[in-house]
Amino acid sequence: MKKLKFIIAPVLLSILFVMASATIDGSKETERVNNSVNVLKDFSKMKEAIPHDLIAEYEGIVIVPNLINAGFVVGGKRGRGIAMIKLDDGSWSDPVFVTLTGGSVGFQIGVQAVDLVLVFRHKGVLTKVKSGDFTIGGDASAAAGPVGRSTSANTDYKLEAEVYSYSRSRGLFAGISINGSNLGIDKKANAAFYGSDISSEDIFASGQSSTASVKALKETLKGMAQSK
């Protein structure tokens, strides 16, 4: 009997550990969604905001809170964020969890934390990420995005780039280049948040999540697309 207890105890501990890990992971992904909401709100408060008509016309978005950009001559980037696309009815899909990694060579010294927002002209560009890593600058180049409440304020500006990039720095670098960086699907995070090994394609096709964090994210994007 004692021997049986010694066998059962480690098994129960293992089960509890797995359950606790799943709960922790799920809370981390909720935190990532909430941080993405805060990033969008912070950008909206800035004088040089993301134009509302850009959000209204473009079909995809990637938000990476607290992207770490560090280097000494040779640099690297690493961040975890979310991606969303517009559905056929104009609403936003549920968020797909993604990673952004990359390197760069040039004169750079320091460590920088950056809130990054990428706005995609066509949602098909983002849905391709499901089959593997997507290279920014290879599969689609990113350009510095227009700023202001509305792009119509500048009649010479046309929304023609495939990807527009916006970053808000809190470190030592003056700016950030993301061309050459890889965008990949964070499968473990998606499984932790949605409760199963769901594909990014299925998530992109859905807008059914009822969690408070996802609702807040969609409402924030909806508000950013409206003229004020």
55-100 per-position pLDDT tens digit = 999 999 999 998 876 654 455 678 899 999 999 999 999 999 999 9
**Domains contained in the chain, number:** 1
Measuring CA to CA, which residue among 168, 187, 184 is closest to residue 176? 168
- Write down the pTM of the prediction: 0.79
Helices 2-45 and 212-224 pack at an angle, to 10 degrees, of 10
Q: What is the pLDDT of residues 156-210, one digit of tens each?
A: 456 678 888 888 876 444 456 777 788 999 999 999 999 887 899 999 999 988 8
Q: Which domain holds residue 96?
A: 2-224
